[in-house]
Amino acid sequence: MTMELLDIQPTELKFTFELKKQSSCSVQMFNNSDQYVAYKVRTTNPKKYCVRPNINVISPKASCEIIITMQAQQIAPPDMKCKDKFLILSTAVPDGTTVEQISHDIFAKEDGRAVEERKLKVALINPPNSPILQPIDGVVRQEPTSKASRPEEGVDAPNGNNSLPSQTVTKDVGKLIAKLSEAEKVITSLREERKTLLQQQEVLQEELGLAKKQNKRRQIRVGYPFLFVCFIGLVGLMSGSMLHL
């Protein structure tokens, strides 16, 4: 069995996914051969990732580190699964070859040139000690969860675990609806009480106005006989005076 030119680790790229935040992972490559080995990294989604260095030459029995950065994302993929893939092409080159001397033709499988291909998958993982990211129609929402229900890195969560956050959300929504219903009842009751108080106030104002009118009438009735008596007395005095004359 022919030994591969490069030993590449890991074979699955794991990115800690957080909305609107970049995430990076490291790839270690070791040159197993006694030759200089040139490599080039390709991806199915070049606008989404930044690879440094994308092309390089590794000396015999030497190692190289690649940093792959996933750009900040506004939405999460469905089910938090990423279909992006990376392809690492490698081939032996003459001793002393530099990065500037590497061309695209070096990785073309022509003239019997041996070019090795290694495919790397991409996996999205949740940040440690953080709510699980659960996308709905491509939009992420966060649900609190315990450590026991959080899947380990690199292991897909069973389908049954997805029901726990849904049940929690259903209960919370039910409680919120019940509280809103109670609040509406209180508001309706207060409005009815206010209406009743306004009606009572109008009745009291009408009764007060009526009482004032009745009081004035009583005063007039009480004062009329007294004036009449005074008038009669005055007439009597004048008549008596005229008789004496």
User: Amino acid identity, residue 32?
Assistant: N
Whole-structure pTM value: 0.53
User: Can you give the pLDDT at residue 102?
Assistant: 94
Which range is most confident: 79-88, 177-186, 199-208?
79-88
Interatomic CA distance for residues 70 and 134, integer angstroms:
19
Query: Per-residue pLDDT for 164 more than 80?
Result: no
Query: Per-residue pLDDT for 10 more than 70?
Result: yes
pLDDT, mean of residues 21-44: 96
Phi, psi of 20 (to 5 degrees): 60, 25
Instruction: With cut-offs at 50, 70 and 90, classify the pLDDT of residue 242.
Output: low
Domains of the chain: 6-157 (2.60.40.10)
Identify the CA nearest to 82 among candidates 136, 13, 172.
Answer: 13
User: Can you give the pLDDT at residue 210?
Assistant: 85
User: Can you give the pLDDT at residue 150?
Assistant: 45
Give 86-112 pLDDT, tens digit per residue: 999 999 999 989 999 999 889 988 777
User: Can you give the pLDDT at residue 226?
Assistant: 63
Interatomic CA distance for residues 237 and 25, integer angstroms:
128
pLDDT, mean of residues 162-177: 64
User: Amino acid identity, residue 119?
Assistant: K
Give 142-151 pLDDT, tens digit per residue: 554 444 444 4
Interatomic CA distance for residues 41 and 108, integer angstroms:
14
Summary mean pLDDT of the chain: 80
User: Can you give the pLDDT at residue 41?
Assistant: 97
| Residue, of 10 and 198, whose pLDDT is higher | 10
Interatomic CA distance for residues 38 and 119, integer angstroms:
16
